[in-house]
Amino acid sequence: MENRPLRYCLYARKSSESDERQAMSIDSQLAEMRALADRDGLNVVYELQESHSAKDSGKRPIYNQMLKGLANDEYDAILTWAPDRLSRNAGDLGSIVDLMDQGKLLHIKTFSQTFTNNPNEKFLLMILCSQAKLENDNKSINVKRGIKAKCEMGWRPGVAPLGYINRTFGGVSDIIPDPERYEAITEAFYKASQGWSGRRIKEWLDEQGITTRNGKPVPVSSLLAMLVNPFYYGEFQYPEGPEGRWYKGAHKPLISRGLW
Q: Which of 12, 14, 23, 15 is nearest to 46 (CA)?
A: 12
Give me the helix-helix angle, 220-227 and 198-207, nearest 10°. Answer: 110
What are the C-alpha distances in Å from 157 to residues 58, 86, 139, 218, 230?
A: 30, 32, 17, 22, 15
C-alpha dihedral (65, 68, 72, 75), degrees to nearest 10: 60
Q: For the residues 212-227, what does the mean pLDDT come to? A: 94
CA separation for the pair 191, 200 (Å, rounded): 9
Residue 156: CB atoms within 10 A of its CB come to 21
pLDDT in tens, 96-115: 999 999 999 999 999 989 99
The chain-wide mean pLDDT, for the chain, equals 89
pLDDT of residue 31: 92
**Is pLDDT of 1 > 50?**
no
Q: Taking the mean position of all CA atoms in its chain, how far away is CA 133?
A: 15
What are the C-alpha distances in Å from 100 to residues 103, 171, 246?
A: 5, 48, 51
**Is pLDDT of 16 > 70?**
no
Contacting residues for 48 by C-beta, under 8 A, at least 6 apart = 9, 10, 11, 12, 62, 63, 65, 66
pLDDT in tens, 137-183: 676 677 788 888 899 999 999 999 999 999 987 777 899 999 999 99
What are the C-alpha distances in Å from 10 to residues 78, 81, 189?
A: 6, 9, 58
Extract the runs of DSSP E, i.e. beta strands, from the chain: 7-14, 43-51, 77-79, 107-109, 114-115, 164-169, 172-177, 235-238, 245-248
CA separation for the pair 177, 164 (Å, rounded): 4
pLDDT in tens, 141-151: 777 888 888 99
The count of C-alpha atoms lying within 13 angstroms of the C-alpha of 258, restricted to the half-sphere facing its C-beta, is 0
Tell me the backbone φ, ψ of residue 244, rounded to 5 degrees.
Answer: -75, 150
Q: Say if CB 185 and CB 226 are below 8 A apart.
A: yes
pLDDT in tens, 64-79: 999 999 999 999 999 9
